[in-house]
Amino acid sequence: MSRIGVFICHCGENISRTVDVERVAQEVGRLPGVAFSTDYKYMCSDPGQTLVKKAIQEQKLSHVVVAACSPRMHEKTFRKAVEAAGLNPFLCEMANIREHCSWVHENREEATVKAIDIVGMMVERVKKNRILPTITVPVTKRALVIGGGIAGIQAALDIADCGHEVILVEREPSIGGHMAQLSETFPTLDCSQCIMTPKMVDVANHPKIKLYTYSEIELVEGYIGNFQVTIKKKARSVDEDKCTGCGVCMTKCPQKKIPNKFDQNIGMRTAIYVPFPQAVPNTPVIDRDNCTWFKTGKCGVCQKVCGPGAIDFEQQDTLIVEAVGAIVVSTGFDLYTIAEKPKGSPIKGYGEFGHGKIPDVIDGMTFERLASASGPTGGKILRPSDGKEPKQIVFIQCVGSRAREKGISYCSKVCCMYTAKHTMLYHHKVHDGQAYVFFMDARTPGKSYDEFWRRSIEEEEAVYIRGMVSRLYQKGDKIVVMGSDISVGVQVEIEADMVVLATAIQPQKGADALAQKLGISYDKYHFYSEAHAKLRPVECATAGIYLAGACQGPKDIPETVSQASAAAAKVMALFSRNQMEREPIVARVREAGCVGCFACKKVCAYGAVEEKEIRDRQGNLIKVVAYVNPGVCAGCGTCQATCPSKSVELDGYTDEQIIAMIEAL
Amino acid sequence: MHPENQKHDFEPKIIAFVCTWCTYAGADLAGTSRMQYPANVRVLKFPCTGRIDPVFILKAFQQGADGVLVSGCHPGDCHYIAGNYHARRRFAAFRKLLEFIGVDLGRLAFSWVSAAEGGKWVEVVTDLTEKVRAMGPMVEFKALALEEQWSGAIDTPELQEAYDAI
């Protein structure tokens, strides 16, 4: 007979406000098998845990049910406490009476009845729980970092500096990401290239970092400590080992008018190219869509001029498999291109702003390239249409962001600050120019941020107009901006030479597809979800995968760098052990019942099911049965629901346990 | 007045089978966001919808559930690669069977609720509760369960014959 202890938590007032915890403790105390039941204000606190441990020893409890918050929150905490008191941790279950009960119901009677049901269900379940031994698995002390922007670079450097091997995968031909595109950075106005490129060189030179650029993640298999990742290295058409990066090929390439994505398509590049001169690695890529050789089979100038003979038109995409123990995802962001309305997306475009139709209506990143010393204009602010210097410039904030009716309700976080920076850069470069900013609010939380914003108004003469723009149109070579100034209640019309839109930050295209490969969750905008918004902000719910940077949500550079270092610290903590414990929630085959149909093998996504021969003492084959490799099994239980003879069981979720729960209702 | 505080003649019993990674987390999010929904639902957590055996649904109806909800990760987003696809196939076939034996399919709902969709969880649970409330109690299976129980009465000729043969 079991001696179950039930511990009901008040969670301060979070549970006791709507659930009559004393009554729950009383009613549950009457259930068969329950030997002890009590309530306490904070069960997860030190005295609360001590209460559990003491009760286990004094009352000789065989099983424990803690009725408190979600098991996703504190299951580990209480299992540890139970283990410390000498019980197997898997004899402890949590009944979720906070997230699933007290927080979602107002009626005290209904909530109390529901809480009694939930606890009763878990009491019946825990009776059927078995002692499960912890499984230890080896840890591969190599990390994979996906995305080579500032987040990925920081995480890779931190992990590598700790002595562990890092594989850094970047989709573009060079690492650097969006930070490499920026001109100067707020709030110190130091040049982005000057602080970014040394880090990029550090990555290239680090003996512990293996860099795959122009590469993408094809497949991710395995689990924490033991991932196998297949990386697709796209054909560069240039042999990286032979190329010296002299750049002669680029000067001789006859295709010179291809818009450069790095320069937001206002600068031009050749068909064989590096995205920018400071690229790492400094090995060019042939853009096969625009290369004369690949289009017509003639030309081959680059091959003729290349001294080391590095050009290889025959190169193919290659697949590389790497074994890693942890993964940092740092795929960053993309700007909401309001010119093209995304297909099938709930997001509505901003036709009224003429982006994509009026050439001098540009986005913030394009302004960065115009202001950058290494940009297509050499750092001069010039209009894309006619190359003239704009004397009146209008900045519009919150384009896409905080616009529920347009499909995005979140704040992109960095635009207030970078627009303030843009007005300063403009004022520094065009002394007789005037900058206007249409804004909703200025959001400047951050060290020295508000001072920076004030400076743009007080010292750099930017005119801030609180209100939104309703319409833009071209009139001669001017753009007429019509908006309202709500602080004085008048309509404003400005004849501008150039308009800069602070468009919303969105996750990279394909963020959802990568999440599906990794098995991590994402929100409706495709930002990746962290395991806990406050307490586990850099970890995914999937063990062994960590997040850094804007792929999780809009972030500025200091925040991104902090999160990247935090993710690296998590990886290093994992790598500090040779072996790690994993939950013993794995499937097991009851060989006596197995008929060897291997339906389980067909549905197992992990290839954990193997064939095992059963022989008698003489060595005669009796039958072939299924065997689940516990190291590979991820514990989804699909095999169990599929097995026609019910001969495979998932520990922790056996039919017995589930049926007991249903019968309790 | 909040809908929860209204008095109803009939409070249906709803059992939800959910996966731990998406829908359970989505229900947690509904909690942390303090959304409100009817208190009729009881949630059973599974690692994956792939683990959910159709027998559990039958068992739930037998135990007096008036409605059953099965919910997991969106197609393609399964934490276990493909468990929800297996579940989808299994339940597509199972629904036909249930319909064949005469269960009103309105009592059984399948949905995809991700970890970020607290609002959708509330919507799905509220919809099913109100729909089942309008349909009234599920009596067919309860009667079956009662029949299955040994009452001690010898009320059929077959039983009498068997009894006499002892």
pLDDT-based confidence at residue B6 (cuts at 50, 70, 90): low
Q: By three-state DSSP, how is residue A86 classified?
A: coil
Q: Which residues, in sequence order, are CB contacts of A363 under 8 Å at separation 6+?
A: A264, A335, A337, A338, A355, A500, A501, A502, A503
Q: Are B25 and B59 in contact (CB under 8 A)?
A: no
Round to whole Å and give the CA distance between A662 and A391.
73
pLDDT-based confidence at residue A339 (cuts at 50, 70, 90): low
- Looking at the complex, does the CB of residue B120 fall below 8 Å from at least one CB of chain A? no
Q: Are A570 and A224 in contact (CB under 8 A)?
A: no
Looking at domain A142-332+527-575, its CATH architecture is 3-Layer(bba) Sandwich (3.50)
Unique residue bearing structure tokens 């914003």:
A453
Is the CA virtual torsion A455, A456, A457, A459 positive or negative?
positive
pLDDT-based confidence at residue B4 (cuts at 50, 70, 90): very low
pLDDT-based confidence at residue B147 (cuts at 50, 70, 90): low
Q: In CATH terms, is domain A587-664 a member of 3.30.460.80?
A: no
pLDDT digits (tens, 9 = 90+) for A575-588: 999 998 888 999 99
Decide the pairing of beta strands A34-40 and A4-9. parallel
Are both A4-127 and A587-664 of the same fold?
A: no
- Which CATH code for domain A4-127? 3.40.50
Q: How far is CA A172 from CA A253, A280, A317, A349, A547, in A?
A: 21, 11, 15, 27, 20
- Return the DSSP state at A527: P
One-letter identity of residue A188 = T
Q: Please, where are the H alpha helices in A21-147?
A: 21-29, 46-58, 71-84, 108-127
Q: Are A520 and A349 in contact (CB under 8 A)?
A: no
Round to whole Å and give the CA distance between A532 and A524.
17
- Best residue in B40, B45, B141 to probe A by mutation, most A CBs within 10 Å? B45
Average pLDDT, rounded, for chain B = 88
Domain ranges of chain A: 4-127, 142-332+527-575, 336-506, 587-664
Least confident of A335-349, A585-599, B83-97: A335-349
Of B28, B55, B77, the CB nearest to A72: B28
Nearest residue to A230 via CA among A169, A288, A272: A169
Q: In CATH terms, is domain A336-506 a member of 3.50.50.60?
A: yes
Bridge partner list, A334: A506
Phi, psi dihedrals of residue A391, rounded to the nearest 5°: -95, -20
- Best residue in A73, A99, A110 to probe B by mutation, most B CBs within 10 Å? A99
Name the B residues in 25-84 with CB < 8 Å from any A CB: 25, 27-28, 30-32, 34-37, 39, 42-48, 50-53, 55-56, 59-60, 63-65, 73, 76-83
* A524/B116 Cβ within 8 A: yes
pLDDT digits (tens, 9 = 90+) for A471-483: 999 999 999 999 9
Is the CA virtual torsion A59, A61, A65, A66 positive or negative?
positive
Considering its fold, how many domains does chain B have in total? 1
pLDDT value at B5 more than 60: no
B1 in a structural domain:
no
User: How close B111 gets to chain A, by Cα (Å)?
Assistant: 16
Q: Residue A524's closest chain B neighbor by CA?
A: B116
N-term to C-term CA, chain B: 64
Round to whole Å and give the CA distance between A497 and A392.
5
pLDDT value at A615 more than 90: yes
Q: By three-state DSSP, how is residue A61 classified?
A: coil
Residues of chain B contacting A515 with CB distance shorter than 8 Å? 77
Size of interface A-B (CB pairs under 8 A): 157
Bridge partner list, A13: none
- Return the DSSP state at A462: P
B48 in a structural domain:
yes
* Domain range enclosing B95: 14-165
* A641/B50 Cβ within 8 A: yes
Question: A662: burial class by Cβ within 10 Å (0-12, 13-18, 19+)?
Answer: buried
Q: Which residues of A514-526 are buried (b: 16+ CB within 10 A; e: fewer)?
A: bbbbbbbbbbebb
> What pLDDT score does B143 carry?
64
A609 sits in which H/E element? strand A609-615
What is the percent of chain A with per-residue pLDDT over 90, rounded to a whole number? 86
Q: By three-state DSSP, how is residue A588 classified?
A: strand
Is the CA virtual torsion A7, A11, A17, A19 positive or negative?
negative
Please state the rounded mean pLDDT for residues A358-384.
Answer: 93
- Return the DSSP state at A536: B
Residues of chain B contacting A642 with CB distance shorter than 8 Å? 86, 90
Q: By three-state DSSP, how is residue B33 classified?
A: coil
Q: Please, where are the H alpha helices in A411-529?
A: 415-429, 449-458, 511-518
- Looking at the complex, does the CB of residue B126 fall below 8 Å from at least one CB of chain A? no
Q: Are A347 and A341 in contact (CB under 8 A)?
A: yes
Q: Are A100 and A540 in contact (CB under 8 A)?
A: no
pLDDT digits (tens, 9 = 90+) for A245-255: 999 999 999 99
What is the percent of chain A with per-residue pLDDT over 70, rounded to a whole number? 98
Please state the rounded mean pLDDT for residues A590-619.
Answer: 92
Q: pTM here?
A: 0.81
Least confident of A457-461, A473-477, A530-534: A530-534
Is ipTM beyond 0.90? no
B89 in a structural domain:
yes
Say which CATH number the domain at B78 has.
3.40.50
Nearest residue to A130 via CA among A654, A593, A643, A590: A654
Of A111, A516, A663, the CB nearest to B39: A111
Nearest residue to A387 via CA among A406, A368, A360, A367: A360
Nearest residue to B38 via CA among B59, B16, B63: B16
> Measured over all CA atoms, what is the biggest interatomic distance in chain A, rounded to whole angstroms?
99
User: How close B29 gets to chain A, by Cα (Å)?
Assistant: 8
Round to whole Å and give the CA distance between B104 and B16.
17
pLDDT value at A319 more than 90: yes
Please state the rounded mean pLDDT for residues B1-20.
Answer: 78
* A106/B47 Cβ within 8 A: no
* B115/A519 Cβ within 8 A: no
Average pLDDT, rounded, for chain A = 93
B4 in a structural domain:
no
Token pair recorded at residue A162: 């700790």
* A640/B51 Cβ within 8 A: yes
B134 in a structural domain:
yes
What count of other Cβ atoms lies within 10 Å of the Cβ of residue B162? 11
B2 in a structural domain:
no
Q: Are A418 and A186 in contact (CB under 8 A)?
A: yes
pLDDT value at B141 more than 80: no
Sequence-separated contacts (24+) of B145-152 with Cβ below 8 Å: B145/B62, B145/B63
